[in-house]
């Protein structure tokens, strides 16, 4: 973690002049000054997102290292995704470090989930079975979508940074749909979107934490009205004979991805860190 003095410098810098660190396409945009109170969560949010990208980048890099279990036909797909994760890493590291933030040391990963063979493996054949490898890839993309989403509100104090992050976030959604489609074509029963809690994910129970909370049937519809009003998404849909109860509920959960809190995201990432 950054030292206190460095951290204060980074927070102030992020609040004021983050656009300096952004690529040319974003430079020149108006930077909204952030409040001092919000700055802390802004840096914390960027650091958490960076850890999510590190995790994914490390996974694809390891997965694509020869000899790889990934069929030749889909290696270009994964290489493309990996390249974009690397770009996201580079951008985030650039923004953080040029704002005076200190980049933490990159973790060492164990994608079997055995923490360096100190605990039972969650995914023992992750690099020897193509199906397991693609399942873990999907899980990491879905995780990424949910983890990003959980940080958005912390970025509201700086519109340029939020803009940068939401545009990475949308790319993660496209990646997730592609991985799901790849798995579907290999016979997995999975949609491009998360349906309910997706049966606790492709490899339950190990993947259950990544999908916990995705089965929400209603959304909070009001912000400052007390008591808060929740809208039932199921009630928005036609009923039998058009749709069964199960179909209504599936659609209601699929239409919204759900955020992971910082603590939840950290716990999930810890599954893969030695």
Complex with another protein: residue 78 or 122, whichever CB lies closer: 78
User: Which residue from 68, 87, 121, 266 is in contact with another protein, where contact means CB under 8 A?
Assistant: 87
3-class DSSP assignment, residue 273: strand
Contact call for residue 177 and another protein (CB under 8 A): yes
User: Which residue from 69, 102, 166, 212 is in contact with another protein, where contact means CB under 8 A?
Assistant: 166
Contact call for residue 14 and another protein (CB under 8 A): no
Tell me the helix, strand and coil percentages in the chain, rounded to 5. Answer: 55, 5, 40
Contact call for residue 219 and another protein (CB under 8 A): yes
Distance between CA 150 and CA 157 in Å, rounded? 15
Q: Give the range of 41-49, 100-108, 203-211, 230-238 binding another protein by CB under 8 A.
A: 230-238
DSSP state of 116: T
Minimal distance, residue 265 CB to another protein, in Å: 14
Complex with another protein: residue 36 or 80, whichever CB lies closer: 80
DSSP secondary structure of 144-205: HHHHHHHHGGGGTT-HHHHHHHHHHHHHHHHHHHHHHHHHHHTT----SS--TTGGGSSSTT
Contact call for residue 79 and another protein (CB under 8 A): no
CA-CA distances (angstroms) from residue 231 to 51, 88, 218, 225? 34, 35, 5, 13
Tell me which residue has tokens 């997995």: 188
Tell me which residue has tokens 């699929």: 254
Q: Give the range of 97-105, 111-119, 121-129, 219-227 binding another protein by CB under 8 A.
A: 219-227
User: Which residue from 1, 3, 4, 25 is in contact with another protein, where contact means CB under 8 A?
Assistant: 25
Minimal distance, residue 48 CB to another protein, in Å: 15
Establish whether the linkage from the previous residue to 241 is cis, with ω within 30° of 0.
Answer: yes
Residues 34-73 close enough to bind another protein by CB under 8 A: none
Contact call for residue 163 and another protein (CB under 8 A): yes
Contact call for residue 176 and another protein (CB under 8 A): yes
**At CA 60, angle to CA 176 and CA 264, rounded to 5?**
60
Nearest to 214 by CA among 148, 156, 259: 259
Do the Cβ atoms of 194 and 254 come closer than 8 Å?
Answer: yes
Minimal distance, residue 213 CB to another protein, in Å: 12
Distance between CA 42 and CA 51 in Å, rounded? 14
Contact call for residue 202 and another protein (CB under 8 A): no
Minimal distance, residue 251 CB to another protein, in Å: 4
Structure tokens at 190: 């999975």
Residues that bind another protein in the complex, under the rule CB under 8 A: 23, 25, 76-77, 80-81, 83-88, 90-91, 145, 148-149, 152-153, 156, 159, 162-164, 166-178, 180-181, 184, 191-193, 219-225, 229, 231, 233, 236-237, 243, 251-252, 254-259
């Amino acid at each position: 973690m950054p030292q206190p003095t460095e951290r204060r410098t980074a927070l102030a810098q992020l609040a004021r002049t983050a656009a300096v660190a952004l690529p040319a396409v974003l430079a020149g945009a108006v930077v909204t000054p952030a409040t001092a109170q919000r700055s802390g969560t802004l840096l914390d949010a960027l650091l958490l997102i960076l850890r999510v990208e590190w995790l994914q980048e490390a996974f694809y890099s390891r997965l694509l290292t020869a000899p790889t279990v990934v069929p030749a036909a889909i290696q270009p797909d994964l290489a493309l995704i990996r390249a974009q994760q690397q770009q996201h890493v580079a951008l985030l590291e650039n923004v953080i470090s040029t704002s005076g933030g200190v980049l933490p040391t990159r973790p060492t990963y164990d994608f079997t989930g055995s923490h360096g063979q100190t605990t039972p493996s969650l995914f023992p054949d992750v690099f020897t079975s193509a199906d397991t490898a693609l399942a873990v890839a999907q899980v990491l993309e879905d995780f990424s979508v949910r983890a990003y989403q959980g940080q958005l509100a912390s970025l509201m104090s700086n519109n340029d940074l939020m803009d940068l992050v939401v545009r990475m976030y949308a790319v993660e959604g496209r990646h997730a749909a592609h991985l799901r489609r790849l798995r579907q074509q290999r016979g997995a029963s999975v949609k491009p979107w998360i349906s309910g809690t997706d049966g606790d994910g492709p490899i339950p129970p190990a993947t259950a934490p990544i999908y916990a909370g995705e089965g929400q049937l209603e959304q909070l519809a009001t912000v400052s009205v007390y008591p808060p009003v929740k809208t039932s998404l199921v009630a928005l849909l036609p009923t039998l004979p058009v749709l069964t109860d199960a179909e209504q509920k599936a659609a209601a959960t699929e239409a919204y991805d759900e955020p992971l809190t910082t603590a939840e995201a950290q716990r999930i990432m810890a599954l893969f860190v030695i």
